[in-house]
């Protein structure tokens, strides 16, 4: 599985699976299908309703609708990525999204650059330029991604109960660390994400780095006989226990 290493706001490197060329193509086809569907619906409405009379009595009706349609098509990806956290409808369905190479949400400026370079990636090169660049680049970036400093990654699939970071622990559970409540929900989510990423990439350095940072935050030492992975899992369980009894 091809991955991209990004650095989170907690300064921990995480390997994210990169969206493949096929997934990006399907996402684009879905987006194009949406506009094609809207066009068909509009034509059908004209054919089966009284809109034809309004068209005949309003000479600017069709040009106005065409301008709105074209503007929506042109600015669709820019608007969607800004307001849908790096996703269009097609990307959301395919569970992929745009992120900054530093692991954070891309800025409006980065979305704008990606959108602007669609002219080069898709239209001036008949989509060949973007396809070749994605296929050839290590991080599966089109030209717009390279210039903007972004990449398209796979989002985490919907987890089942056993993969949820915040789930109840058994009533008789005895916590090992008593100060885990000082951690934030986001830090626990990050620990859980690191554990999940390890099982996908088997990057042991990720576990060592995360356990060292957590131990420093809690001002504790990893107990003898407990490895770094068990330490992280215990911290998550202790946090769930302490937050549950605090409610």
Report pLDDT digits (tens) over 187-239. 888 898 888 888 777 788 889 999 999 999 999 999 988 999 999 999 998 88
Least confident range of 3-17, 153-167, 229-243: 153-167
Mean pLDDT of 145-157: 86
169 neighbors 240 (Cβ within 8 angstroms): yes
- Judge if 150 and 167 occupy the same domain: no
Match 């990606």 to its residue by tokens.
114
d(CA 95, CA 17): 11
In angstroms, rounded to a whole number, what is the distance separating the alpha carbons of residues 190 and 46? Answer: 52
Q: What is the pTM of this model?
A: 0.63
Residues 144 and 222 in one domain: no
The predicted pLDDT at position 161 comes to 38
As a whole number of angstroms, the distance between CA 117 and CA 114 comes to 5
* Phi, psi dihedral angles at 159 (to 5 degrees): -85, 150
**Do 25 and 139 reside in the same domain of the chain?**
yes
pLDDT at 198: 81
Angle between helices 204-218 and 228-246 (to 10 degrees): 50
Longest pairwise C-alpha distance within the chain? 84
Q: End of a domain among 136, 154, 172?
A: 154
Highest mean pLDDT among 5-14, 46-55, 150-159: 150-159
Full domain range(s) for residue 198: 161-246
Residue 241 pLDDT level (bands cut at 50, 70, 90): confident
Are residues 31 and 115 in contact, defined by beta-carbon separation less than 8 angstroms? Answer: no
| pLDDT band for position 98 (cuts 50, 70, 90) | very high
Between CA 225 and CA 234 the distance in angstroms is 13
Q: Which of 28, 164, 3, 157 is nearest to 87 (CA)?
A: 28
Residues 178 and 115 in one domain: no
The number of CA neighbours under 13 Å toward the Cβ of 210 is: 31
Kindly tell me the burial class for residue 94, based on how many C-beta atoms sit within 10 Å of its own C-beta (0-12, 13-18, 19 or more). buried
Mean pLDDT of the chain: 83
- Calculate what percentage of the chain has a pLDDT beyond 90: 40
pLDDT exceeds cutoff 90 at 146: yes
CA distance 117 to 162: 42
Band of pLDDT at residue 48, cut at 50, 70 and 90: confident
Per the document, the length of the chain is 247
What confidence score (pLDDT) does residue 154 get? Answer: 87
Which of 154, 174, 199 finishes a domain?
A: 154
My answer on whether 77 and 176 are in the same domain is no
First-to-last alpha carbon distance for the chain, in angstroms, is 41
Among residues 154, 182, 205, which one ends one of the domains?
154
Q: How far apart are CA 39 and CA 99, in angstroms?
A: 31
Residues 173 and 103 placed together within one structural domain of the fold: no
């Amino acid at each position: 599985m091809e991955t991209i290493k990004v650095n989170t706001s907690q300064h921990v490197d995480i390997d994210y699976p990169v969206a493949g060329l096929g997934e990006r193509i399907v996402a684009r086809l879905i987006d194009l299908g949406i506009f094609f569907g809207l066009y068909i619906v509009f034509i059908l409405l004209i054919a089966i309703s009284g809109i034809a009379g309004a068209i005949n009595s309003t000479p600017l009706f069709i040009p106005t609708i065409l301008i709105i349609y074209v503007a929506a098509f042109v600015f669709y990806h820019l608007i969607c990525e800004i307001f849908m956290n790096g996703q269009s409808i097609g990307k959301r369905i395919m569970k992929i999204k745009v992120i900054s190479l530093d692991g954070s949400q891309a800025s409006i400026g980065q979305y704008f650059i990606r959108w602007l370079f669609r002219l080069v990636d898709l239209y001036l090169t008949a989509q060949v330029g973007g396809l070749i660049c994605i296929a050839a680049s290590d991080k599966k970036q089109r030209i717009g991604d390279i210039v903007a400093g972004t990449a398209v990654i796979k989002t985490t699939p919907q987890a089942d109960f056993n993969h949820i970071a915040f789930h109840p622990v058994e009533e008789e559970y005895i916590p090992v660390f008593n100060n885990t409540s000082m951690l934030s929900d986001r830090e626990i989510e990050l620990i859980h994400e690191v554990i999940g990423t390890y099982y996908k990439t088997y990057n042991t350095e990720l576990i060592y780095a995360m356990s060292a940072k957590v131990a420093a935050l809690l001002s504790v030492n990893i107990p003898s006989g407990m490895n770094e992975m068990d330490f992280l899992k215990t911290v998550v369980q202790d946090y769930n226990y302490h937050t549950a009894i605090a409610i």
